[in-house]
Amino acid sequence: MIEVTPVGTHVSVWGEGPIWHQNRLLYVDIESYKIVAYDPVTQTEKLWDVGQRVGTVVPRAKGGLVWAGDTGIYFLNEATGESTYIGDPEPNMPDNRFNDGKCDPAGRFWAGSICLKKQPEGSLYCLHTDLRIEKKFGPVTNSNGIIWSKDASTMFYIDTPSKKVRAFDFDRETSAISNERVIWDTSADSSSPDGMTIDSEDRLWIAFCHGAKVVCFDPGTRKVVDQINFPCVETTACAFGGPDLGDLYVTTGLKPGLTEELAGRLFVCRPGARGVPSDAFAG
């Protein structure tokens, strides 16, 4: 059994979107309006309050961060804490907000929306390096985990309520996606696929919200190859980090009405796999 250890001191209402960059782990606490940077060497955290629900954060190659939330996509100046508005593809949809997202291997920022009314009114968007925002896929209800294969030929994507992990052919040069297919239907599971990451062998590591687990799935064989259990039910997302990219960080959240001592904490474990370096926004 793989041992999981809580790290840091921050307790998230709903932690999400971890990403390893420059020797620290970035993640968000959606409902507390916070972006968190955790330094495992000093075991300290830096927090930024962005004043609205924030669904995802990624590093920017030029410095600073890019985040997406209730009212669109923003740059964040880490030194001042000031956010600069980039754009919002859904300005007239108050029941939607941005949720999970990541950068593709060419440095574009992909992020999707969630409909808080639980209707299929969300979409997946791409922020190009010229700051143009393009709709890429939809409709979806709760846009969630997104990641690319090592050779950048495949994009993997989750719309949580569908309980399906999808794959698309991906064109790195143009950002075009095609040949949509379902590679894993998790409908038999009482929990739902949420955030995900990928390892150096192109296996997907998927956190299951309401499931207290992270599952490793091999898209090549279409089989589950590993499972890590956690002491709290809302396991939301995961990312490899550490000096050798062998540490798997997992965010969690609080389940209303349930008292769990370690819920909302950031966890780390060593599952025996290695991640791949994350991509920063190139714009």
Residue 16 marked in a binding site: yes
pLDDT of 178 reads: 99
Long-range Cβ contacts of 41-48 (<8 Å, 24+ apart): 43/7, 43/8, 45/8, 45/9, 45/10, 46/78, 47/10, 48/76, 48/78, 48/81
Domains and CATH numbers, the chain: 5-269 (2.120.10.30)
210 burial type by CB count under 10 A (0-12 exposed, 13-18 middle, 19+ buried): middle
Residue 194 marked in a binding site: yes
- Identity (one letter) of the amino acid at 11? V
pLDDT of 156 reads: 99
pLDDT of 66 reads: 99
Residues near 88 by beta carbon (within 8 Å), at least 6 away in sequence = 71, 72, 73
Mean pLDDT, 10 residues at a time, over the chain (283 residues)? 97 99 98 99 98 99 98 99 99 97 99 97 99 98 98 98 98 99 98 99 99 99 98 99 99 96 98 98 99
Could you list the active site residues? 194
Q: Is 122 helix (H, G, I), strand (E, B) or coil?
A: strand
Residue 181 marked in a binding site: no
Q: d(Cα 37, Cα 25) in Å, to the nearest integer?
A: 6
Residue 144 marked in a binding site: yes
pLDDT of 271 reads: 98
Hey, what are 117's tokens? 């009314």
Residue 199: name the closest of 213, 215, 184 by CA: 215
Say what the pTM is.
0.98
Q: d(Cα 63, Cα 75) in Å, to the nearest integer?
A: 10
pLDDT of 110 reads: 99
Residue 78 marked in a binding site: no
pLDDT of 126 reads: 99
Residue 53: name the closest of 74, 71, 30, 87 by CA: 30
Residues near 40 by beta carbon (within 8 Å), at least 6 away in sequence = 7, 24, 25, 241, 242, 247, 268
